[in-house]
Amino acid sequence: MKLYLPLLLTLGLMTANAFAQQQVFKGATLYDGNGGEPIANSVVVVEQGTISCVGTDCAIPESAEIIDVSGKFLTPGLVDSHVHYAASGWFDTRRIFPMLREVYDLDKAQDYLRQNSAELDRSYLCSGVTAVFDTGSFPWTIALEETSVGSVEKPRFVASGQLITHDTHPAGKDVLRYQKYENTREFLPMGSDEEALGSVAAIAASGSSAVKVWFTPPAPQQADELRDRLSVIGNAAHRNKLLFIVHVETLKDAKVAIRAGADVLVHGVDSTLVDDEFIKLVTENNVVYQTTMTVLLDGVTILDLMNGDAPHFDDPNYCISPRTRQLVRDGYEKLHGPFSQNFGPAQRQALILSTGANIFRAQHNLKRLLEEGGTIAAATDAGNPQYYHGPSIYGEMELIQAAGVPAREVIVMATKNGAKAMGLEGTLGTVEVGKNADLVVLAEDPGKDVAAFRSITHVMRFGKLHSIADLSYASEKAVD
Ligand SMILES: [Zn+2]
């Protein structure tokens, strides 16, 4: 009740909303998500959660509730097409580092997220994100998809569930062994064709919408065999009518993944500049290429943490929950003692230079791909330590813009193309008749600078208008 009471008391609008058959956004400058010229003084009519008219001369039904947005800007709800609900934004859910098992009860951390996914839902809506693609984690996340359909309180959710991997390396040969929670695994094997097919069958049976392969660079003696197996998995995913999405880390493997039928590359290429062959493969096969550039900075943010810098929250509207903030602050104390190291300025400088080079290549590659007609989706990898659910999308959009991509194109990447990555381009991602009424109201012009998404005042999810002031956790500040 605490969450909704102030909302009902302060906004007569909201109570009326529940009964109004139609709502009309009137007067905003509209960016519809297709990348064209904005529509000035627009009218958008919403009927029972769906957009029924868009333009300047829509008939306004007499009984409609008018939402006057003159002088403001309207866009589709943002789509973050790479997140992990089974990861908190901190190290307490990071099973990959064995040392963390001594500090955190990883199952308890997982229990918390499982029982409190509404906290992340609120962080997303508060940030203007009305749809998310959970690209891999424990199978409990899959159930979130069904409850998100037609929900006015949750972003539309699509999950890929368990990940398939050959990898046994990170921090100690035990990925398959330690990635367990409630007798399920986060990762499934692909040690033989048979085993890989079994993994796809398990994912299909779990009700997931996508099959994701976490394809870290294979050992040379296994490389050919494993690369061939990607096709086996891709074909099986498509036979089951599931999206096939792939994590790769090299240009060579990105090409292999596309030839194996990948629908989505869940990270951009940053280790090298892309070539003509790759561009052709992406465009001819209609692949969605995700950006995930902000998370490339994680080496630097972790080093700074180890060196004693306090954690930083880039969260203009206070959409990260007080619980998450506290978790990070406490965790910082916990980790700083046992694991702190003093990295000197030279080491930090070297890391910044190499990270900068990765981001430079990633920016160059996405710009080139855009110029050649590729489909690029803005995506954050939120859930990783210090990449928080919700507001992380702003920094990602700004890094894309900094690559020289016009703001209007960045909007397409963070709306329409994200919907395409989720396989939902027919349902959401643009402001068009028949689409979900998932909309964002901004005070500033996002067509000039995508930093304007930080000026969000309202978000509509499937016909329900929320004010950011109500979604924000600012009034519940426990600390700071
Ligand atoms: Zn990820």
Per DSSP, the residues of 153-178 read SS-EEEE--SEEE----TTTS-HHHH
Average pLDDT of the segment spanning 381-409: 97
Same domain for 262 and 403, yes or no, is yes
Task: Flag whether 194 is in a domain.
Answer: yes
Whether residue 313 lies inside any domain: the answer is: no
Q: Does 451 reside within a domain?
A: yes
- Ligand 1 mean position, distance from CA 110 (Å): 17
Answer for the pair 187, 179: CB distance below 8 angstroms, yes or no.
yes
CA of 244 relative to ligand 1 center, distance in Å: 15
Based on the fold, state whether residues 267 and 172 are members of the same structural domain.
yes
- Same domain (yes/no): 12, 132: no
Q: Is the pLDDT of residue 317 over 90?
A: yes
Q: Cβ–Cβ contacts within 10 Å for residue 105, how many?
A: 10
For residues 469 and 294, give the distance between their C-alpha atoms in angstroms, rounded to a whole number.
26
pLDDT at 1: 32
Whole-number Å distance, alpha carbon 216 to ligand 1 midpoint, is 12
The alpha carbon of 308 and the centre of ligand 1 are apart by a number of angstroms equal to 26
Looking at 381, 402, 421, the residue that finishes a domain is 421
Give the domain range for residue 381.
Answer: 78-299+344-421
Do 44 and 120 sit in the same domain of this protein?
A: no
Q: Which residues of 58-77 are buried (b: 16+ CB within 10 A; e: fewer)?
A: beebeebbebebeebbbbbb
The domain spanning residue 12 has which CATH number? 2.30.40.10
Cα 366 to ligand 1 centroid, rounded to whole Å: 18
Same domain, 409 and 363: yes
CA of 247 to the centre of ligand 1 (A): 8
Indicate whether 326 belongs to any domain.
no
> What is the distance between the alpha carbons of residues 399 and 360, in angstroms, rounded to a whole number?
10
Which of 375, 393, 421 represents a domain boundary (last residue)? 421
First to last CA, the chain: 24
User: What's the CA-to-centroid distance between 4 and ligand 1, angstroms?
Assistant: 32
Cα 150 to middle of ligand 1, angstroms: 26
Residue 251 reports pLDDT greater than 60: yes
The CATH number of the domain holding residue 259 is: 3.20.20.140
- DSSP code of 264? E
pLDDT at 7: 38
The C-alpha angle with vertex 185 and arms to 183 and 189, in degrees rounded to 5, equals 130
Looking at the fold, whether 132 and 164 belong to one and the same domain comes out as yes
What is the rounded CA–CA span in Å between residue 397 and residue 394? 5
**pLDDT tens-place string over residues 268-287:** 999 999 999 999 999 999 99
Indicate whether 320 belongs to any domain: no
Asked whether residue 242 falls in the same domain as residue 289, the answer is: yes
Distance 381 CA to ligand 1 centre (A): 5
Would you say residue 246 has pLDDT above 60? yes
Assigned domain for 244 exists: yes
236 with 115, same domain? yes
Residues 149 and 246 in one domain: yes
Residues 258 and 222 both lie in one domain: yes
Distance 280 CA to ligand 1 centre (A): 25
Average pLDDT over residues 11-36: 77
Residue 3 confidence (pLDDT) = 38
Domains held by the chain: number: 2
Give the residue-averaged pLDDT of 300-327. Answer: 90
| Same domain? 216 vs 109 | yes
Task: Determine contact, residues 423/382, Cβ cutoff 8 Å.
Answer: no
How much distance in Å is there from the Cα of 70 to the middle of ligand 1?
A: 39
Residues 242 and 168 in one domain: yes
Evaluate whether residue 317 is within a structural domain.
no
**Is residue 338 assigned to a domain?**
no
Q: What is the pLDDT of residue 16?
A: 42
Q: How far is the CA of 82 from the centre of ligand 1 (A)?
A: 6
- pLDDT tens per residue, range 300-311: 888 888 777 888
The Å distance, Cα 42 to ligand 1 centre, comes to 37
Residue 74 CA, ligand 1 centroid: distance in Å: 29
